[in-house]
């Protein structure tokens, strides 16, 4: 008889494999029945705490930047939104020099993952170009999943791309010398390559420099730093092509490598939200693996006891999966009193769930759009510079919502703030 056994003291106990499988199924079923689903409002309160956006839960210090980027890896937001909204919303004392240090040290990379909707149309506006921040070791998996085809840059951008392909990573002045183009022409070409997802640089300062008009580029002193933050194109480090074959899974068979990438993405999404379902991921990138592929990974992790399955949010239909720590925080959040304070997030933030979890029209994922939540309920929004009431507000609540929506997220260089808020 085939079976497995467990050693208890000095006795060996045998168990038939089919019986052990039945016990395992019963255990999973019992664990699922123990879960008490929360309301959408409490789930939103949980998400604000899980992503460390709620006051009192925000992370602090440069070391927390790596954790925040790991939580947001693979999420594409407009280039101008990262330092204007997303990172300051999660790091209480965010200093933009931290991101440059993380990129230059090789811990973090940035790139466009999704292909342009219409590559033949030329350069898209760079500040609205979707950019993702990634732990550098995870870049290969994400790039392999999103490898675009048929991207044709313009003549000048193609010359710069040829230089990077021939000479490898190069500094800005080396690109200027090799192409014999004007500096402004090389900048425009690099901006096009970044917008098309073809090029990236060692430091986030490269992207920051392209977002800032050349006439306003200066050396700004970083808060609490002796040295200044670099926003000049010459201080951006080396430029290189961002599309590379996946190094981590090159030796693995095709099907095994593809599954490994799906598993990595599934875990990243679970880490971002704590609880995942097909509906919650509706606003994530369209190029992500299908829910049926992600669900297979989650079911396998549930069988191993690494994640929990069940119905965690009452208003969401279909399968739901959660990290054990998220289940605990969900229970704590449900029992926690409601403070009545407003929390505003950018429309480009993954916490923009209006029209997905909440009823109503979706709010465009733009940097300037903002949503104000009060105890997990979307109360008002700033759309195209206009105040929009999402829930009934009295005079005092309206004023509090307006203050939350118009509040500056964090101190930034004046030139960068003016550029990001256009």
pLDDT tens digit string along 240-267? 987 654 444 445 557 788 888 899 999 9
Mean pLDDT taken over the chain: 82
pLDDT tier at 24 (50, 70, 90 boundaries)? low
pLDDT tens digit string along 400-418? 999 999 874 434 444 434 4
| Average pLDDT, integer, range 184-207 | 90
Question: Residue 312 and residue 316: Cα distance in Å, rounded?
Answer: 8
CA angle 270, 88, 222 (to 5 degrees): 135
| Average pLDDT, integer, range 381-397 | 93
Coil, strand or helix: which one is 118? coil
pLDDT tier at 347 (50, 70, 90 boundaries)? very high
Q: How far is CA 347 from CA 113, 273, 343, 364, 398, in A?
A: 20, 17, 13, 6, 19
pLDDT tier at 419 (50, 70, 90 boundaries)? very low
Most confident by average pLDDT, 95-104, 149-158, 223-232, 282-291: 95-104
Which tokens sit at 30? 């019992």
255: which residues sit within 8 A by CB, 6+ positions away? none
pLDDT tens digit string along 286-330? 888 899 999 999 999 988 889 988 889 988 888 999 999 999 999
pLDDT tens digit string along 50-59? 999 998 899 9
């Amino acid at each position: 008889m085939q079976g497995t056994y467990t050693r208890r003291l000095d006795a060996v106990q045998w168990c038939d494999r089919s019986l052990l499988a039945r016990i395992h199924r019963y255990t999973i079923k019992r664990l699922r029945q123990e879960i008490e689903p929360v309301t959408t409002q409490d789930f939103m309160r949980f998400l604000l705490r899980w992503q460390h956006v709620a006051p009192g839960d925000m992370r602090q210090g440069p070391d927390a930047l790596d954790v925040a980027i790991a939580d947001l890896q693979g999420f594409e937001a407009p280039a101008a939104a990262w330092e204007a909204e997303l990172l300051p919303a999660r790091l209480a004392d965010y200093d933009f020099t931290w991101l440059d240090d993380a990129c230059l040290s090789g811990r973090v990379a940035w790139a466009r993952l999704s292909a342009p909707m219409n590559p033949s149309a030329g350069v898209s506006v760079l500040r609205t170009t979707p950019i993702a921040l990634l732990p550098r070791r995870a870049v290969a998996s994400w790039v392999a999943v999103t490898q675009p085809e048929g991207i044709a840059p313009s003549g000048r951008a193609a010359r710069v791309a040829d230089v990077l392909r021939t000479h490898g990573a190069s500094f800005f002045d080396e690109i200027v010398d090799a192409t014999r183009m004007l500096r402004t022409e090389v900048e425009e070409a690099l901006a096009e390559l970044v917008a098309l997802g073809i090029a990236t640089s060692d430091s986030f300062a490269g992207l920051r420099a392209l977002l800032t008009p050349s006439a306003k580029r200066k050396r700004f002193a970083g808060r609490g730093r002796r040295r200044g933050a670099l926003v000049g194109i010459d201080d951006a480090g080396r430029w290189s092509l961002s599309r590379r074959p996946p190094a981590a899974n090159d030796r693995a068979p095709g099907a095994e490598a593809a599954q490994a990438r799906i598993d990595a993405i599934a875990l990243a999404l679970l880490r971002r939200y704590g609880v995942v379902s097909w509906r919650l991921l509706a606003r994530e990138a369209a190029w992500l693996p299908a829910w049926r592929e992600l669900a297979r990974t989650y079911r396998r992790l549930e069988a191993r006891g690494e994640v929990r399955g069940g119905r965690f949010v009452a208003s969401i239909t279909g399968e739901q999966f959660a990290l054990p720590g998220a289940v605990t925080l969900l229970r704590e959040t449900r029992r926690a009193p409601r403070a009545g304070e407003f929390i505003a997030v950018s429309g480009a933030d993954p916490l923009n769930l209006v029209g997905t979890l909440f009823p109503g029209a979706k709010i465009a994922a733009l940097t300037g759009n903002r949503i104000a939540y009060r105890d997990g309920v979307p109360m008002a929004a700033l759309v195209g510079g206009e105040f929009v009431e999402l829930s009934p507000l009295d005079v005092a609540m309206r004023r509090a919502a307006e203050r939350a929506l118009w509040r500056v997220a964090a101190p930034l260089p004046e030139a960068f703030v003016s550029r990001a808020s256009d």
